[in-house]
Structure 1
Amino acid sequence: MEGNIIFALGLTLFAGLATGVGSLLAFFTSRTNTKFLSVALGFSAGVMIYVSLVEIFVKAKDSLTAALGATQGYWMTLVGFFGGILLIALIDRFIPKANNPHEVRTVEDVNAVQIKPQIDEERLMKMGIFTALAIAIHNFPEGIATFMAALQDPNVGVAIAIAVAIHNIPEGIAVAVPIYFATGNRRKAFNLSFLSGLAEPVGALVAFFILMPFLNDVMFGIIFAGVAGIMVFISLDELLPAAKKYDETHLSIYGLVAGMAVMAISLVLLVP
């Protein structure tokens, strides 16, 4: 049994560390490459919108309807979803936001001419931190699911861990890109991306030692619905507008569609 537990924890760690792989991929560009920034932010939005509405929201609804019945469960899913949106909107509201009256520039251009040099950086940094928090919250129960599946059937656990790792790679990009473009610090971008992925093995540990007696379908469903709402809000309020600011032609939309496609393929791999 002890060997199975260690194996299951190892799988969740493997899946979580894939966010770090995504952040490394984001560093093969220069900070002046606004085309890459536009595509990457659009890609990040596509990842988060697709996984929120196609996977997380549906799992939340299934969990809540199983526990509460079809009608009440669906209503609770909506409460959780829009509650998540309200929560992140309130947080966003009370964080000071600078307004840039000037046209969009590269970070280096803004610094060079000394026109409110921190404005773009502050927005991108906040965006990256919010994205990291949302993905960490999402990865936490995902780690629980991978851990429990691996305990019950190691072969199923391996398949799920590989699929989760694949779709954690674009999530790592979603965290690292805005932070890297805000700070120019690869280490800081990597660290935050890496930490958001560590929520998976942490979720497995917390589930094993603390939460198992208290976890139920209602709690799981409400948390998942709230996470879906948070991720959709971040995508629509932060990622997409920023992607369009740096856009040339339709690059941000191409990135959005590519992000959805990558997540769609990775989620297909989760199907037994």
Structure 2
Amino acid sequence: MNDVLLAFLFTLFAGLATGVGSLLAFFAKTTNTKFLSFALGLSAGVMIYVSMIEIFFKAKDSLTVALGETEGYWFTVLGFFAGMILIGLIDKFIPKYSNPHEVKKVEDMEKSSTPIKNPDLMKMGIFTALALAIHNFPEGIATFVSAIQDPTIGFAIAIAVAIHNIPEGIAVSVPIYYATGDKKKAFKLSFLSGLAEPIGAVVAFLLLMPFLSDVMFGIIFSMVAGIMVFISLDELLPAAQKYDEAHLSIYGVMTGMAVMAISLLLLA
């Protein structure tokens, strides 16, 4: 029961990081693109390192114990790419809002401290919140199940997810605030998008707990690794490169990998 409670706490911590991002957006008068580029790179580094160095091989160990060396390795690789395909399909079919005129308005509002109260920005913010909630739901399942199997891995995943949820919170709250002038509403919608993660943990607890085994853990772990690598390569690094100056995003990646490596060594 203590492991279950700890898993829920890790997932809640990761989800609430969207609220942290929302608060940071309100306190920052201007957008620090250097910091944003470094932070996004750091998040990608954390996620890639923990996925490729730790989670993938945890999955392989579980599956080879249950299925044998060759078959277990095959299932690990298949699970890894299945995770990438799953999150890729989610990304493809979630609603997106990419009106270039609105992108320009967001750039303008970042230089201003006064809400421009444009209703189209509200649409952008709500679509972003919905998209992130859909993304966060499987992340919540992944964090919960990983923490049940190995609290060290669960903690590492929770940290990685929390780091990348902070800029997601900013992405939701800023357009909503500038559309409405209401900080409370912007924070609430940003906060709610992050709650999809603990909801995912509840679903995992109610539906998956009776079926958890070495094979189930291994498949989930391998899919988690694929999901996190996809998010890093498809979302975090391109966003970091957009604001990049003097290779800051790559230095962020290296720093994130080093931080996660040291954290895992200290927790071992």
User: One fold, TM greater than 0.5?
Assistant: yes
Alignment of 1:44-63 (within 5 A): 44-63=43-62
User: In the alignment, does 2:220 pair up with 1:243?
Assistant: no
User: In the alignment, does 2:63 pair up with 1:64?
Assistant: yes
SS at match of 1:33: coil
Aligned position for 1:221: 218
Alignment of 1:129-208 (within 5 A): 129=133, 131-145=135-149, 160=151, 164-165=154-155, 168-184=158-174, 185-193=186-194, 195-197=196-198, 199=200, 203=204, 205-206=205-206
Aligned equivalents of 1:175, 1:138: Cα separation in 2 = 15
Cα distance change of structure 1 residues 261 and 117 upon mapping to structure 2, 3 Å threshold? same
Following superposition, the deviation at residue 125 of structure 1 comes to 4.8
Following superposition, the deviation at residue 31 of structure 1 comes to 7.0
Aligned equivalents of 1:145, 1:267: Cα separation in 2 = 16
Following superposition, the deviation at residue 224 of structure 1 comes to 1.6
Aligned equivalents of 2:258, 2:104: Cα separation in 1 = 30
Structure with the higher helix share, 1 or 2: 2
Gaps of at least 5 residues in structure 2 are: 110-114, 175-185
Aligned equivalents of 2:162, 2:29: Cα separation in 1 = 18
Amino acid at match of 1:211: M
- Cα-Cα RMSD: 3.6
Cα distance change of structure 1 residues 177 and 141 upon mapping to structure 2, 3 Å threshold? same
TM-score, normalisation: structure 2 = 0.73
Following superposition, the deviation at residue 61 of structure 1 comes to 1.1
Aligned position for 2:87: 88
Aligned equivalents of 1:47, 1:134: Cα separation in 2 = 18
Following superposition, the deviation at residue 186 of structure 1 comes to 3.3
Q: Aligned residue pairs: how many?
A: 247
Following superposition, the deviation at residue 103 of structure 1 comes to 11
State, as a whole percentage, how many aligned pairs show the same letter. 46
Cα distance change of structure 1 residues 85 and 126 upon mapping to structure 2, 3 Å threshold? farther
TM-score, normalisation: structure 1 = 0.72
